[in-house]
Chains A and B, each alone.
Chain A
Amino acid sequence: MPVVSMTVNGKPVSGEIEARTLLVQFLRENLRLTGTHVGCDTSQCGACVVHLDGIAVKSCTTLALQCEGAHVTTIEGLADPDGPLHPMQEAFREHHALQCGFCTPGMIMAALDIVRRRGHDLDERTIRDELDGNICRCTGYHNIVKAIAAGAKAMAKGGPVRQAAE
């Protein structure tokens, strides 16, 4: 079987996998990083969004082998287990931007990509447009949008929290 090696949340990892193994399967089943979720498995819902070399992708539509040598960041890589939350995570908590929580990891990873591309001063229209690829089945978008606007602002202020694991 092929062997894949990559850096996940700053740590080098490798595994022997079938070629058909999706990135999300590798993360969840081989690495036991179960924060990344599988919602629709058809590239629509965004529960599986992770960062591949700093760019948001749907890990259910990416083969693990395509990530050979790459840097992957998952929701687990945003803050230390016992440390303070990442400002975007903190904003989701503060604004009650989750109900069941299933879409939350993908929402937060997508939100960080919005900040990367569109900056820290985000209006509601921009955020709603940019969330095209993320579905909240609880329909809790209102607070998600508020949290992303607040999280983006909080990230601009910097602070002690690192912005990603790399």
Chain B
Amino acid sequence: MYDFAFHRPTTVRQAAGLLARNPEAKLLAGGHSLLPVMKQRLASPSALIDLSLVEGLAGVEQKGRSIVIGAMTRHADVANSRVLQEVMPGLAMVPASIGDPQVRNRGTIGGSLANNDPNADYPAAVLGLGATIITNKRRIAADDFFTGLFSTALEEGEIITKVSFPIAKKAAYEKFKHPASGFALVGVFVSKRGSEIRVAVTGAGANGVFRVKSFEDALKKRFAAKSLEGMSIPATGLNSDIHGSAEYRAHLVGVLARRAVAKATA
């Protein structure tokens, strides 16, 4: 790891000011994606701006018909949130499946979303629930947020502060874990909120997380695993690597979507 300057602002405004003055700086949330790539010298920011002392960035609360999660909330705290377990346990399944206990004690939702790793879990939940990403500048709909591998709609100097998830009556996440890394070889998040059905897939797409319209249409008729029987998606545009071919991933999308719907309707 190359050396860098280290800052610990206490307000979002200070953090944004530091970012503006240090164009080569990176925000540090839980650090469990950023520090490993810095060790490999794949990233060498001139400065790290640690958000851990910024007030008001952590916590899970219910606000009306939404669950609002602060950007610096650790995976373990979201997974174990009492209010979330009560109103939408399907969303808690996502952080509970990330990495291992020590990783969940450090990693954050904001960091995961800003990084947009194509195999990360949270993007599936955000897209699969139609959440809203709230930054220091604006609100960004999930459908507009993820723009490709490791890239998002976030602009220079923009800081995620919260994520607002509409509460869906039925929601679940099912994931095929890579056995060594714990990342999703494929992960599928499904939700039903009134007449709105969403199916979002992570790990499979060469461009990151995506929705499966054909599955959503099939589930509109009846939200049951049976509605997806025999369904799969085309392998074009899916990742192919030593861990699994595009065809295998396409097959997994169908299998995991059925399991997720079964879990959501159990």
Contacts and interface: CB of A to CB of B under 8 A. Distances in A.
Contact of B102 (A18, A41, A133): A133
B6 A2 contact: yes
B182 interface: yes
Interface stretch (B29-37, B126-134, B149-157, B219-227): B29-37
A20 interface: yes
A66 interface: yes
Interface SS of chain A: mixed
Contact of B35 (A56, A61, A114): A61
Interface string B40-64: 0000000010101000000000000
Nearest to A58: B102
A63 B35 contact: yes
**Interface size grouping (class) on chain B:** 20 to 34
A34 interface: no
Nearest to B5: A19
B102 A56 contact: yes
Contact of A62 (B3, B8, B31): B31
B101 interface: yes
Contacts of B52: 66
A68 B180 contact: no
Interface stretch (A42-50, A72-80, A89-97, A153-161): A42-50
A65 interface: yes
A114 B76 CA distance: 13
B95 interface: no
B6 to A, nearest CB: 4
B8 A49 contact: no
A55 interface: yes
Given A46-B100, A58-B103, A132-B182, A18 B3 contact: yes
Interface of A: 2, 18-20, 41-44, 46, 49, 55-58, 61-63, 65-66, 68, 110, 113-114, 117, 130, 132-134
List 7 A-B pairs, minimum CB-CB distance, nearest first. Answer: A133-B100, A132-B100, A19-B6, A20-B1, A20-B3, A133-B102, A58-B102
Given A42-B36, A43-B102, A66-B50, 6 more contacts: A43-B36, A58-B102, A61-B32, A110-B102, A133-B100, A133-B101
